[in-house]
Each structure stands twice: as structure tokens, then as C-alpha cells.
Amino acid sequence: MSTEDERPEAGQGQGSQESANEASVELRAAEGLSSENLQDYHNEASIELRATEGLSQGQIVRKRFFRHRAAVVALCALILIVLLCVTSIGWGVIPGWWIHNYVDTYNLANAGGQPTMSLSFQHGLVIGPFPFGQDNLGHDMFAMTMRGVQKSLTVMVLIGLGATILGILAGALSGFFGGKVDMVIMRFTDMVIAIPAMIIGAVLGKMTNGVGAEMLGIALACVS
């Protein structure tokens, strides 16, 4: 038989294998269900298939994400936090609307640097010039908190992007070359996983002290 005749058979065999795998997953998911629950399970699976029919992978992911209420609430909270920390004291070329910055010192508004924000039935909510209070030197704690959030977001984004890029590169090299290259990469990965992340973070934080959040994020991405 020619090679051209063998290719369709190979494709059919692969399709049969995928169908068998899907059927196996369905059977394992339906194990232990009563006949009534099993019927409900199949109905839900059928509805899910019809709902995602003709959609791309990205569209399916977006649709499932926005149907998850907790995920949507968390996304909204994250967006609000980012907007607050970016616009309040400014970031880069973005100007801030808050009256104080995180560098200058100011006279203590309250004894001991107590917060000026208060809530009472008589006056309602009073924000004041230092809602989070001040430290012993007179720095505005609200401005310092917003600056800390900016640094945390910077580290978070760098870790996510760096770990993704390095993971793709390591996986591609391991899969392409195989053999000793694959073994070395896997052993190094196992070694990094075996060391607690808190210890690595503490050591890298000490090593990058004074260098900036950017270098800390890049260093943590290399071992994530």
C-alpha cells in the first residue's frame, strides 16, 4: 500500500484514539452517579457543548471567565486597586491627585501621627489631610502605602511575564533537544521546586536590596 493510502488511516487512528480518551474522561466523571444524576450530567454536558459550538478557544475562556462571579468581582477589585495606586500619587508620566507625596515630611496633624480619618454620627465621614496617619518622621502613610502597592504590582507583573517566557523557552529546548539537555533542565527545575519559595524570596530580596523592585521581580521570575 502506498504512503498516501496510509496517511488517512493514520489520521483515522488518531481520531479514534482522541474519541476513546474523551469517552474515558466522560466515564470517569460519571462514575458513582445514580441514573437520575447521570441523566442530568449528560444534559449539562450537552448544553455546554452546544453553548461553545463554533467558538474559538479564547472565546470559550472569556465566556467561562465572565460567567464566574467570584472571578469577575476579583478582577473589578484589582482594576480599582490599580487605578487608585496609579492615579493617587502618580506613576511615571501620570500625574497624581493626592496632595502629599511619599518622599517629603510634614508636620504631625495628630499626636503620635494618628489617622485624621474618622466616622461619627455627628460629622459623618471625615477624611482629613492624613487618612492613614503619619510615621514618626512625618511621612504620609497613605502616599507610602500607594507607593508600596505600585512596587508590589511591578514585581507581580515582572514575575508573571518572566516566568512565562522562561518556562516556554525551557520547555521548547527540552522538547526539541531531549536527551541530556532535557535531563539537565528537569533536574534544575526539580532543585528550584524543592527549595521553599519564601527562602528564595528572602535571599533574593537581600541580594537586590537597594537595586529596585524591577531587579527583584526579574530575579524571582528566574526561579519561579
Residue 106 near residue 100, CB atoms below 8 Å = yes
Give the 3-state secondary structure of residue 113: helix
What is the C-alpha to C-alpha distance for residues 101 and 220, in angstroms, rounded to an integer?
29
Domain segments of the chain as ranges: 3-64, 105-138
Say if residue 218's pLDDT is above 50.
yes
Higher pLDDT, 100 or 216: 100
20-75 tens-digit pLDDT: 455 454 555 555 555 655 565 566 666 666 667 777 888 888 888 998 999 999 99
Residue 129 burial (CB count, 10 A): 14
The three three-digit cell numbers of residue 67, written as one number: 460567567
Say if residue 9's pLDDT is above 60.
no
Higher pLDDT, 192 or 210: 192
Say if residue 211's pLDDT is above 80.
no
Residue 84 CA: distances (Å) to CA of 87, 105, 142:
6, 22, 11
The three three-digit cell numbers of residue 55, written as one number: 467558538
pLDDT of residue 41: 57
Say if residue 140's pLDDT is above 90.
yes
| Helix ranges restricted to H, the chain | 3-30, 35-51, 57-67, 69-88, 141-177, 179-194, 197-207, 213-222
Say if residue 19's pLDDT is above 70.
no
Residue 131 near residue 142, CB atoms below 8 Å = yes
pLDDT of residue 168: 93
Say if residue 1's pLDDT is above 50.
no
pLDDT of residue 112: 87
Interhelix angle 213-222/197-207, nearest 10 degrees? 140
pLDDT of residue 189: 85
62-113 tens-digit pLDDT: 888 998 999 999 999 999 999 999 999 998 889 999 999 999 999 999 888 9
pLDDT band of residue 205 (cuts 50, 70, 90) is confident
